[in-house]
Structure 1
């Protein structure tokens, strides 16, 4: 094998025993720890898949001990290479999108490895359809599933795959991060030992028991568990780990389990909180706009009703003036000269007793003033009616946009 084709670890190093074998030298068990330029990294717990594949690959290639009493421990302490196309300890290279997602989830090295080995698929609504249906081994689903962890078991295929629904609108990216973290924690739950899972159960139940019964988390949890009560522990681990933070964290033993995979769980939960606040803010903005619109509608209706009432009242005053003018016209000149009138105008303006012709002239002036004011009000009402109509269209568009955004949260 040419030197540049030697199997390499995820860190890019070539274990000494691989170099020796390629040079025709006998494999030296101590070569597992032989690094020429730098010491090995701290041991990290590998998925059971790695140990099994590592044993098969090494036994087939090197003819080492048939017994597996020693090899699993060695494989966990070193970066095992790829042999004959079989992955033994190598974490698949993530896509840039998945690598960015890992950073946003605040994962530890072990958490990143687990995420990358689960080879997450980020799918649009059409591609996601049917990928998380019940009955196909997926975990982390509801009737409106947005992600799932497909676990497999048996032979060399112990492991799992993560499928995540990714809405098209970038404003919902926090939702994608939260979903990915939830599904990763399903995979992480499988990484815990049976004893760890047994110990975690009561601790998780104690946390959820202290959460407000009105909190949406209870509804989400019930929907995800559904008719599969055996899934409750892993769902608790995923929901609480990605959505709930308490000052100082949970029980130290439980936080230690999370800490293997998540470097900053408080920051991860903050992603969920920020997304919820974003949705709440958008909803509040639409609600406030709708309430303000209702007030404008009310004000417009009130102003229109007042305008119509004032118009009708002014029409009655105009009729009275015209009737007095007609009456005076039917009088003789001497009778008109002796005719006196007094009046209080519609707005309370007094018209003291005076010859009828003079008083009617003063009333005509007030009538002209009020008619001009009504004309200005009519023009203003037409403008405000147009503004209300425009606001109605804007608020309707905001509501439609928000509903469309919310609809993207459900790929079905």
Structure 2
């Protein structure tokens, strides 16, 4: 009897870890992956600056994240859609994160945001059905509240095309890293992964503002150039027609003077002065046109410079040069 009891005890002892492993296999896999990973100082900096909690750090390192240069990154994660730059990807099959190496100092903070975004994909992949069911309607409600933002709608349309079925997964990463005001229940969820989510959103806001400022300045310049062009074209048309009319009137005036057609010297002087005034007015109009043309050329050069900056920034976030005429 004792032997049977002993054997049964051994069997039960063996069954307990097997049952636990069947329920928590991903956690075991993640723990082994974390133990087998030595993060670089760069990756550790991402964790610290994005304010990942111990759980967030654990999930991030469990994916063995890599920072890759363009050629290597594009061979793993890429987008063929024009105007779209892929900066990070989470590969569910291998549970791996790859991050694009952003080197432009003007985009300080963007890499940390991308790292956090991809970590949230890893977190989503590890959430159970009950947690997904609880959080999904909160994510959708937030998305509905943001439908007035054209950029957000366009972005979600892109994900619908490129990653069908992953809407909630992408919302989970976008809202957690980019949107300041969220439902308190979402905030509670993200608090398990970030100690200061507002700081992380601040990094996104500052780096994203670089593009917003360039776009706003470019749009303002385009409007100024269009207004200048319209006024120059209209006034130059007035100038040329006015000059032609003045030339004809001067010729007629000289013919009358040669034939003695003026009844008095005073009449001659009045008409001559009127012609001279028209000449001065046309000269002033031409000077104004020339000044506006110089301003147009200066603003056009500035726009060209902004377009070059946009191309440079786009290149730094893995967007191919534009094939069109620019902003």
Question: Would you say same fold, with TM above 0.5?
Answer: yes
Q: Which residue of 2 aligns with 1:208?
A: 143
Q: Deviations over 1:350-398 (max 9, x none)?
A: xxxxx2x453245445544544554455455434423322322322332
Structure 1 residue 203: Cα displacement? 3.9
2:72 corresponds to 1:127: yes
Q: For 2:91, which of 122, 129, 150 is the aligned residue?
A: 150
For residue 280 of structure 1, give the secondary structure of its aligned residue in structure 2.
Answer: helix
Alpha-carbon distance in structure 2 between the residues aligned to 1:113 and 1:187: 10
- Report how far residue 181 of structure 1 moved: 1.5
Question: Equivalent residue for 1:360?
Answer: 268
Question: What is the TM-score of this pair, normalised by structure 2?
Answer: 0.71
What's 1:324 paired with? 256
Equivalent pairs, count: 294
Other structure's SS at 1:263 match: coil
2:307 aligned residue: 399
2:116 is aligned with 1:181: yes
CA distance in 2, matches of 1:229, 1:365: 78
Q: Tell me the C-alpha RMSD between the 2 structures.
A: 3.8
The 3-state SS of whatever aligns with 2:310 is: helix
Q: Is the 8 A contact 2:262 2:268 kept in 1?
A: no
Secondary structure at 1:116 match in 2: helix
Alignment of 1:127-276 (within 5 A): 127-132=72-77, 145-151=86-92, 160-193=95-128, 195-212=130-147, 215-221=150-156, 223-224=158-159, 231-246=166-181, 249-251=183-185, 254-276=186-208
Taking structure 1 as reference, are residues 67 and 133 closer, same or farther at Cα in structure 2, changes over 3 Å only? farther
Q: Answer yes or no: is the 8 Å Cα contact 1:124–1:168 preserved in 2.
A: no
The verdict on how the C-alpha distance between 1:120 and 1:321 changes in structure 2, with shifts beyond 3 A counting, is same
Distance 1:163 1:289, change over 3 A: same
Match of 2:5 in 1: none
TM-score for both structures, normalised by structure 1? 0.58
Unmatched 5+ stretches in structure 1: 1-64, 74-85, 135-142, 154-159, 329-338, 342-354
Are 1:110 and 2:55 matched, yes or no? yes
SS in 2 for 1:388: helix
Q: Which has the higher contact order (CA 8 A, sep 6+)?
A: 2
Question: What is the CA deviation profile of residues 292-339 of structure 1, one whole-angstrom value per residue up to 9, with x for unaligned ones?
Answer: 1222222222332332233223223322321122212xxxxxxxxxx7
Aligned to 1:94: 39
Partners of 2:246 and 2:257 lie apart in 1 by 16
Given that 1:91 and 1:113 are in contact with CA atoms closer than 8 Å, whether structure 2 keeps it comes out as no
Instruction: Note closer, same or farther for the CA distance 1:324–1:294 as it changes in structure 2 (3 Å cut).
Output: same
